[in-house]
Structure formats: C-alpha cells, structure tokens
Structure 1
Amino acid sequence: MTPGLPPSEQERLARVRFAILNSAKVSGIVLMCFGLWILLGDLVRVGGDVLIGLPVFAIGLFQALVLPKILAGQWSTPK
C-alpha cells in the first residue's frame, strides 16, 4: 500500500480503489450494452446506426477491460 499511512487509512484507501475499479467495469459493461443497442436496435434509427453505436461500444470496451488495468498498475506498489 502507501507507506507512511496508518493501517486504518490504508484499508480505507484500498476500499475506495476497489469501488472505483468495480464502478469502471460495471459502467463500461453498461456502455457496451448501450452501444450494441444503438448498433443493432432501432434506438437511433431503424436498422441500427453504426456511426454512433460502434464508438459507444468501443469506449465501453476500453472502460471495462483496459482502464481497470491501467488504474491498478498506477496504484500498485513498486517491487
């Protein structure tokens, strides 16, 4: 964890970081579903809309899969 912090603060920081990582994953999955709905459904126009749905899906994919790994790497302790 972070050196110099008391154990109670380290635990609080770990809980906050855990919540942030899970929030990023869940909101990314929601964006992916929304992007698929735009892409394949009739939400924006009949037959789907690739120009809107694909970028929304890609942003959600990045947020669900890549962003948590980036954050975890930033927060990890050096070895």
Structure 2
Amino acid sequence: MTPEDRERLAKSRFQTLQLLRFTGIIVMIIGMWVWGGDILREGGWPMLGIPLFAFGLFEALVLPTILAQRWKSPPEE
C-alpha cells in the first residue's frame, strides 16, 4: 500500500467516524424532542423517544470507538 493510499484510507475512515458522531447527535436530539416535546402527540412520546435517544447515544459514542479499534493497524516492525 502506497503512502497516498494510506492517507486516503485514513481520511476516509476519519470522515466516517465524524459522520457517525454527527448523525448520532442528530438522532439523540430528535429522540429528546419526541420524548418530551409535542412534535408527534400531546405531552411527548417516551415509548419512541427513549429508544431513539439510546440509539443515537450508541451511534455517537460507542460505534465510533468499536470501528476505530477494529481499524487500528498492527504495529509495523
């Protein structure tokens, strides 16, 4: 693998991790809005908002960590 290929791969992976974090935060915000706001029905809808929030939290915090560990390159000798 050439240095240009490694750099392209690293940039692509970095962008993927940032996109996951960003969309996870957006899903968390929507989940909180559905949970406590009057967007879908009067008084909020916790049965839908809480799982949305939890999925967004997983997507923003846990999934990027798992992918980063999986993508770590082995030490070169």
Tell me the TM-score range normalised by the shorter chain.
over 0.9
| Counterpart pick for 1:58 among 37, 54, 59 | 54
Residue equivalent to 2:23: 27
Residue equivalent to 1:67: 63
In structure 2, C-alpha distance between the alignment counterparts of 1:56 and 1:29, rounded to whole Å = 11
| Counterpart pick for 1:14 among 5, 10, 33 | 10
Residue equivalent to 2:36: 40
Q: Which runs of 5+ in 2 are unaligned?
A: none
In structure 2, C-alpha distance between the alignment counterparts of 1:24 and 1:69, rounded to whole Å = 11
In structure 1, C-alpha distance between the alignment counterparts of 2:74 and 2:43, rounded to whole Å = 50
Aligned pair count? 75
Superposed displacement of residue 78, structure 1: 2.7
Q: Which runs of 4+ in 1 moved over 4 A?
A: none
